[in-house]
Structure 1
Amino acid sequence: MARALRILLLLAVAVLPACAPGYVLPGPSLNEPELEKSELVTADGLRLPMRVWSPGEEPRAIIVALHGFNDHSTAFEMPAVEWARHGIATYAYDQRGFGSAPNTGRWPGMAALARDAGTAIRLVRARHPGLPVYLLGESMGGAIAMVALTGADAPPVDGAILVAPAVWGRQTMGLGKRLALATISSTMPWLTLSGRGLGYRPSDNEDMLRAFSRDPLVIKETRADTVKGLVDLMDAALAASARFRTPALILYGEKDQIVPREPTALMLSRLAGAADRQRVAVYPEGWHMLLRDLQAQVVWADIRAWIEDPAAPLPSGADRDARLRLEREAAS
């Protein structure tokens, strides 16, 4: 998508009238939020499709999962089925603007996304009183989790699991990318972009990627103003790292071609929590879609192990000197 932005810069500057971003922001509160059987009902009345994977008996722990950009809640099906076998229930919903949620393809604003995450956490806690609840965010979902958990109305969680969190903010982008994004999003917010032909691989799981590309709920063409909204979110997540004190497991793949190492290393260097409460794991064979890569089961097992005992070393060993290794690679 970065190359597409550069190519379109000259076209964008030729457009005279400026256009405001076409965000679809939340409306006024209409009702109390509610967790129905297959929907999360927000305060402004949106019905967000909810999927739940539960063990056959009362769970021992709960994960509330936030999917990535242009994806939807089914992204968690494979790990959630495995976690359910070990007594962990997973709740995942299509975030507003994505999947089968209302206003697909239109950016709702980071405040709304973070508020929805807090709503989901509180409703799930009310459904399962006394059980530990964890907020898991993948890519964009990781950025939303960081913003939600450092806000003034942060929801109560027992820990966060950040899977390849999207922290590639403007501070770590080149000048050309920043100018192209600013110009296109302000002059042609309706322009749609795609990542086709850019050569970036999100995973080594080709079967999964083929199914992903055929999935009608996955957004293939993205509005320029939505890209700007995502970058604004990544800016906020990177800034939030300095206030992020939640006990956390933070996962990154060395082969990630979507979120670069440099902003990830910068985010890790800023973390406000104690190192023994914010565990970092770096997977040499991991790509961006760590939960669906060919070695995904290794990651699933590490997440389960961390929930069961956050002080113990991870089964894979991916946490050994992980921060130091990532920082050295980012600097080289």
Structure 2
Amino acid sequence: MADMSTLEGSFTTPDGHELYTKTWKPTSALKARIVLIHGFSDHCNNFEPLSTLLAQQGIAVYSFDQRGWGQSVHTPAEKGRSGPTGQVMDDITAFIEHVLSASEGSDTPLFLMGHSMGGAQVLLYASRYGPAEVISKIRGFLVEAPFVALHPDSKPWKITVVLGRLAGKLLPHMHMVNKLDPKKLCRDPDVCKALENDPLCHDTGTLEGLAGMLDRASLLETGSVVLGEGRGEGGKTRLWVGHGTADGVCDYYACRKWYENAQVKDKEMQVYEGWYHVLHKELGEDKVRFAQDVAKWVLARCEGDGVGQTEGADVVEERARL
């Protein structure tokens, strides 16, 4: 395995908000670059060990704590204050442009990947919101357990959603704690405990931010947004989806339905039988296997022109639990 290094930093958005950044770089030949987008009540340092394992295979990883989350929160009032969907998408665009502007690796294929809430953001970005000039520079899109719909056991009461939306119009920055059940996140109890005790995972959203998150999922679940061809480098869309069948946070079946409806020739879905929500931290060697699956798909699209490896493929692979 190649060696790697890490770098912490910051990035200032066009409207002047400072976001925490973390980069994992291989010290040997650079083969690919991935921009990673984290999920709800999470932060980019929780992408370990995925980010390290990818860097060790020649894939540089660039990530940031989204507005309202992790170390991008500078005052208590900023917790969960991600802004509406337009703001979320603008932040992703600005960070991708920031990565693209770096002189090193400027000719290296770039991929965009997201987990959970971040996965839904990537699907929306790829399908609709990403500017054409940025989309044309992204070789492929990857999502891990994307928030297409909440698992039935995790869905809020409809009346709660309705009242929350009404209140959100009057008090968009009002905080609401929306705690995730740590036992549903991972089959490794030590990981669940660490996530529950992580002070940066504050479980606090604003009414505006929570409504935006639910609205984005609804667009995907109802089929209002479907990914098609022409959204990617070379005018070709490339899509990889990974989901655990025992995910108690985001609904596997809703994700699979969205994937099957995607009008994309080069698409692949890895189904992890019995796995939970945070695939990149799953039990034992499973997290290593997940990282290998991601790296394999990415690197296959960095060979030659990155187009012909699975042209016309519509692959769903089952991964059994060890």
Q: Which residue of 2 aligns with 1:39?
A: 10
When residues 97 and 199 of structure 1 are mapped into structure 2, their CA distance, relative to the original with a 3 A threshold, is closer
**1:123-162 paired onto structure 2 within 5 Å:** 123-127=98-102, 128-150=105-127, 151=129, 153-154=131-132, 155=134, 156-162=137-143
Counterparts in 2 of 1:214 and 1:153: CA distance versus 1, 3 Å:
same
- Is the contact between residue 169 and residue 231 of structure 1 (CA under 8 Å) also seen in structure 2? no
Distance 2:182 2:12 in 1: 39
Alignment of 1:166-185 (within 5 A): 166-168=147-149, 177-185=157-165
Paired residues in the alignment total 280
Amino acid at match of 1:263: A
SS for the counterpart of 1:68 is: coil
- The alignment partner of 1:248 has SS state of strand
| Cα distance change, pair 104–261 in 1 and its aligned pair in 2 (3 A) | same
Q: Which residue of 1 aligns with 2:304?
A: none
CA contact (8 A) 1:121 1:133 kept: no
Q: What does 1:97-246 align with in structure 2 at a 5 Å threshold?
A: 97-102=68-73, 103-127=78-102, 128-150=105-127, 151=129, 153-154=131-132, 155=134, 156-168=137-149, 177-187=157-167, 190=174, 192-195=176-179, 201-238=184-221, 239=223, 241-245=225-229, 246=237
Please identify the structure whose Cα radius of gyration is greater. 1
Find the counterpart in structure 2 of residue 7 from structure 1: none
Measured in 1, the distance between the counterparts of 2:150 and 2:251 equals 11
Q: Deviations over 1:6-61 (max 9, x none)?
A: xxxxxxxxxxxxxxxxxxxxxxxxxxxxxx97112211111110000101135211
Residue 147 of structure 1 aligns to which amino acid in structure 2? Answer: L
- TM-score computed with the length of structure 1 as normaliser: 0.75
Shift of 1:229: 2.2
Q: Is this contact kept in 2: 1:67–1:137, CA < 8 A?
A: yes
**Structure with the higher fraction of residues in strand conformation:** 2
CA distance in 1, matches of 2:279, 2:101: 30
Q: Which amino acid in 1 is paired with 2:253? A: E
| 1:32 matched residue in structure 2 | none
Query: Paired residue for 1:267, among 244, 258, 262?
Result: 258
C-alpha contact (below 8 Å) 1:139/1:164 kept by paired residues? yes
Offset of residue 178 of structure 1: 3.2
SS in 2 for 1:242: coil
Identity of aligned residues (%): 22
Q: Are 2:246 and 1:255 aligned?
A: yes
Runs of 5+ consecutive residues of structure 2 not aligned to the other structure: 1-6, 230-236, 302-307
8 Å Cα contact 1:139-1:166 kept in structure 2:
yes
**What is aligned with 2:232?**
none
Amino acid at match of 2:167: T
2:26 is aligned to: 55
Question: For the residues of structure 2 that align with 1:278 and 1:46, how far apart are their CA atoms?
Answer: 35
Q: In 2, are the aligned partners of 1:132 and 1:157 still within 8 Å (CA)?
A: yes
| 1:285 paired residue among 266, 274, 287 | 274
Deviations 1:294-325 (A, max 9, x none): 11111100001111115769xxxxx6555xxx
CA distance, structure 2, for counterparts of residue 42 and residue 74 of structure 1? 20
Contact between 1:53 and 1:81, CA under 8 Å: does it hold in 2? yes
After TM superposition, give the deviation of residue 75 of structure 1 in Å: 1.6
